[in-house]
Structure 1
């Protein structure tokens, strides 16, 4: 297919635009796409930083304007880095930045880490048998405390029995 603008080069890009239910498709070459403003490239090209910094921006224009107004004065007291500088650079200036920009980090981490904001680690399949069981025991103990607090004693007894079984497996007498 040839470019719909210049009719000289092959069309390498396809743009679809839907406005009020009207669908418009355009097939253009890269040169015409740049000339007509369909796409723009930074002079130095795209880097990994540009790709990741796209995760820091929200898609809703109102959210962007509100966030800009709220964060325009947000600055780290120790290194004086602003939130906008952090978004541009992709790195913090000091350890105090984590506390200063704490409210803005969770959404970023969720996008970067597929919805997770905490790291639980990974246990090797071959060597981590006891470690996996100990983690399960700890999880059961937390559940047991919650059940006791909620006075669900029958369920708590079941969880207690599971803890005892797992402790027998690892051969320890953890109390």
Structure 2
């Protein structure tokens, strides 16, 4: 998907304020510079809450850079709502602030090529720019959690490239010099 247009979708989602939007659309929820779209296998599991809480702790950092965060799993909006309203110490995720999309038809997971054995989503994360172009993607096997800080680094690299026209080498961090291509 990298360099291609991100598949748009319309699906139910539990918003940060716990309201349900039955017709949540990716293209209508981009930040000024784009969106971080990430998938997890299933609600009420083990690695998933660690990733969701990590991304939630970084939501403001992403938003300050003009990127919204949106999460997706194959669970229904009712299950998302229940998980958000279960205390962390009892296996819940608490009141995360980003929308949680319900991909009950598995079509979004299929479109992003993260559907595993027609059952659940792999741990995919996509950096999508303001023009809906996929600029970065990572897909992890089920036992391997993702790092929200690495996605934030990729956002910084993209913004640096767009502002300065310089490419960002391996290990580049915000404030480092880029390279002229």
Normalising by structure 2, we get a TM-score of 0.23
Structure showing greater radius of gyration is: 1
**Greater RCO, 1 or 2 (C-alpha within 8 Å, sep 6+):** 2
Identify, as 1 or 2, the structure richer in strand: 2
Normalising by structure 1, we get a TM-score of 0.23
